[in-house]
A and B are shown apart, each in its own frame.
Chain A
Amino acid sequence: MEKNVEFAHKNGYVSTIFGRKRVMRDINSPNYNLRSFSERAAMNMPLQGSSADIIKIAMIRVYNRLRDENLNSKLILQVHDELVIDTLKSEQPLVEKILKEEMEGAAELKVPLVADVYSGRNLSEAK
């Protein structure tokens, strides 16, 4: 993580795995509060930003897969790190499979991505 901060000090920005950048204009500020705020942001932006990138990629993959397989089920919600599909009951097994595959395959990290699938008649039951 120190690497991110060091990089930010040198280049004035940090970036995610997928090249999203955030400019850190206060990273070398003489003002301690501004600087340390930027330093912390430099540490966590690549994490939060990369996770944002990943959920976006997952949304596109899931969407395309539902379309390509001619399914009637629809992607309807994205909340935090969670995707929800309004699923035709007959398509449920396939949708569960698609969600798991496309979410877990959204990015290749040094560690595996894991998506936990659930279902229910409402979002609370489903969890």
Chain B
Amino acid sequence: MEKLLLIDGNSLANRAFYATPFMSNSKGVPTNAVFAFVNMLLKITDAEKPGYVLVAFDRKEPTFRHEMYADYKGTRKPMPEELRPQISLIKEVLKEMGVSSYEKAGVEADDIIGTATRKYGVNNIIVTGDKDSFQLVNETTSVYFTKKGISDTEVYTAENFKEKTSILPRQIIDLKALMGDSSDNIPGVPGVGEKTAYALLSQYGTVENLYEHVNELTGKLREKIIDGKEKCLLSKVLATIDLNVDMDLPLEELKFTMPLPKKAKLKFAELEFRALTNKAEIYANEEEVSAEEREYADIPEKVAVTDSAVISDLIKKQVAVSFGEDVSVSDGNKEYVIPVKKSFFDEGFNYDDAVKMLRPLFENENGSVIVYSRKKTEYLLAEYGIGLKSKTEDISLQKYIADFSGKEERENEVILLYKLPENFPAYSLYKLNGILHGMLEKNNQLSLYYDIELPLAKVLYDMETAGFRVDETIIRELNEKYKAVLTKISEKIYSLAGEVFNVNSPKQLGRILFEKLNLYHGKKKKDNYSTSADVLESIYDDHEIVPYILRYRHISKLNSTYVEGFLPLIDKRTGLIHTVFNQTLTTTGRLSSKEPNLQNLPIRDEEGKEIRRFFVPSDSDHILVGADYSQIELRLLAHFSGCDKLIEAYKNGDDIHSSTAAEVFGVPITEVTKEMRRKAKAVNFGIIYGISEYGLAKNIKISPKEAKT
């Protein structure tokens, strides 16, 4: 028999919301419940393969139950602010996934589900976190009850129901009539709890039968049952799911098919559900849905390239190039695809021949080629001996400047985000160039793009490929030294702790510090003590061991990141390290780099100096020449504040912190004390690094109010 999956939308959304950490997309739209909901839905449909799916929702209008009993659900807390918008988002997502949802004024999701289970003559699977639905269980209806979170479900069927609950499905109603339900504010019989309710039901079956035999009861219980009769019968009606909701919903409309339509993918991309967008197997084959895609974008004609003449003809135009499984080129009208062989027997070109076909485009100094990432393209072309001499447009940089989402994105993600056809990547890049240029122009950011970020991509490529030399002998020496230092510090730590333990284990460290040495531990998280730097700083003076631990950690981190960490990064053939710069990662616009991360290289302290000794010239004919900006952020502070005195101080070459102190404390610069200068310095850096008044006050030991002025 066909299967119908029935989902209590509100119940599941609620579970999804509380079971997952809060999450929002780059536009600030909360999305955690939506994400978890969709995953749950996909998991169940994958496991059960239902032919039909219906998601039922509650509505905000009062239901027939409220009319009978004004306090119905009166104890419900209002929906959290972050969840409310997600309910309508879930409905939007369901629509794009081709999943039916239904709601009706005056009835609850339960009633819709209940009616559906008795309407279509199919096998029903109900998914809910609400035990009310248990009353619906019968030969053709089972309940997936979400216990904890959303993935932990328990299945209730006609076969196992009695065993699991010791009553029959319809007795759920009687149970509630007797014991009530605090979550729905159903009163039940005052004074009757769960245990009594079960006992009564096992003897009398239903509440009606109970009242027929009420004289068999004795004492207090008899009194309670008799006094509570009205409430009991009202409760029974309230707890009974309506199986006869008038709904015009033919089974055909509930049809559900996998894979999902492409528009679902676009919706996921919009919500920035990267994991879902990248699950290729859940979406319908590209060609099959091109009709639906046409709703979102005009689709270009696809031309399979058979010889290089086609490409050479494009040399006079601006073109976009995308390197995917195939190599494609677009002039904004057509998508020219150079098919790449996936196996020996395939039609098409070898990958290197396909790429080499593009040589005339990239080596044409008068040409202009749009690519997703200039730097990555240059690497790829270099592999095939092709130079990058044409002008380029870099979509990733345009996007970073004009519409930064807060995280790195891949080519297909950006294409989907702008609702462009993913299976026409070159055409989409061409369109993106137009769209993003429009945004750059509107934001007055063309110069930032053309004068800074785009030319920088070339500079970074050359820096990366040039690499830098490090002296491996010195690295190994320092590694030995650090290991010895760490051993020495840990011995000191063991003797202070009175035992040997693993300093790197937060758990063992927590036990030593907070149980054995009884130091102040702040908040415990799930039975674990925090041994974060913040916590250790706060007890710095409380025990001699703490400074040693901080020291241990510092050296250990340096060693693993910059000393030992450097060794595998050295190119065995050349002895050079090639860092990788990332130009599109930070919100401030700073560059970042990895392997190694140069931006975190310690500079000021002794250790920093030792690490800087590794960096050496390429050979004995060379020498390192460097320069660094003096107080660039303070100068910018002076520039932005427009403060005449600061500007004057810089022009005169005065000490800037003394000048600030003179200004803040209202004394002539000659009378500024060391203490004043120290505070002024903290103020200056506080502003640059965004320290709050409280943080600032703490750092320089003044009141927050004083700090604010």
Interface residues of A (CB under 8 A from B): 1, 3-4, 16-23, 25-26, 36, 40-41, 43-57, 59-60, 63, 73-89, 92, 95-96, 99-100, 103, 109-127
Contacts and interface: CB of A to CB of B under 8 A. Distances in A.
Interface string B7-44: 00000000000000000000110000000000000000
B625 A110 contact: no
A122 B613 contact: yes
B625 A117 contact: yes
Interface string B614-628: 111110011111111
Interface string B593-631: 000001101010000011111111110011111111111
Given A79-B598, A111-B650, A18 B452 contact: yes
A110 B627 contact: no
29 contacts: A17-B636, A20-B445, A40-B690, A44-B687, A44-B688, A46-B636, A48-B588, A55-B591, A56-B452, A56-B456, A59-B459, A60-B455, A63-B462, A76-B466, A81-B628, A83-B626, A84-B615, A103-B627, A103-B629, A110-B639, A115-B628, A116-B627, A119-B626, A120-B623, A120-B624, A121-B623, A122-B612, A124-B609, A124-B610
Interface in B658-709: 687-692
B401 interface: yes
Nearest to A82: B628
A44 B468 CA distance: 32
B210 to A, nearest CB: 52
A125 to B, nearest CB: 8
Contact of A48 (B610, B615, B688): B688
B310 interface: no
Contacts of A75: 459, 462-463, 466
Interface string B647-664: 100110000000000000
Given A87-B625, A109-B636, 15 more contacts: A16-B589, A19-B447, A43-B687, A44-B690, A47-B633, A75-B463, A76-B466, A82-B627, A88-B622, A112-B650, A113-B632, A115-B628, A115-B629, A122-B613, A123-B626
A14 to B, nearest CB: 10
Contacts of A96: 625, 627
Contact of A52 (B469, B589, B690): B589
Contacts of A18: 447-448, 452
B635 interface: yes
B92 to A, nearest CB: 21
Nearest to A81: B629
* Secondary structure type dominating chain B contacts: mixed
Contact of A119 (B586, B625, B631, B646): B625
A58 to B, nearest CB: 8
Given A43-B687, A44-B687, A113 B625 contact: no
Interface of B: 27-28, 401, 404, 443-445, 447-448, 451-453, 455-456, 459, 462-463, 466-469, 471, 586-591, 598-599, 601, 603, 609-618, 621-633, 635-642, 646-647, 650-651, 687-692
B629 A49 contact: no
B624 A84 contact: yes
Contacts of B453: 56
B651 A77 contact: no
Nearest to A48: B588
B469 to A, nearest CB: 8
B588 A22 contact: yes
Contacts of A80: 599, 601, 603, 628
A33 to B, nearest CB: 10
A78 B615 contact: no
A72 B613 CA distance: 23
A111 B656 CA distance: 12
A55 B629 contact: yes
Given A48-B590, A56-B591, A115-B630, A124 B613 contact: yes
Contacts of A89: 621-623
Contacts of B625: 73, 84-85, 87, 92, 95-96, 99, 117-119, 126
A86 B622 contact: yes
A124 B612 contact: yes
Contacts of B612: 122-124, 126-127
A19 B448 contact: yes
By CB atoms of chain B within 10 A, which of A3, A20, A45, A57 has the most? A20
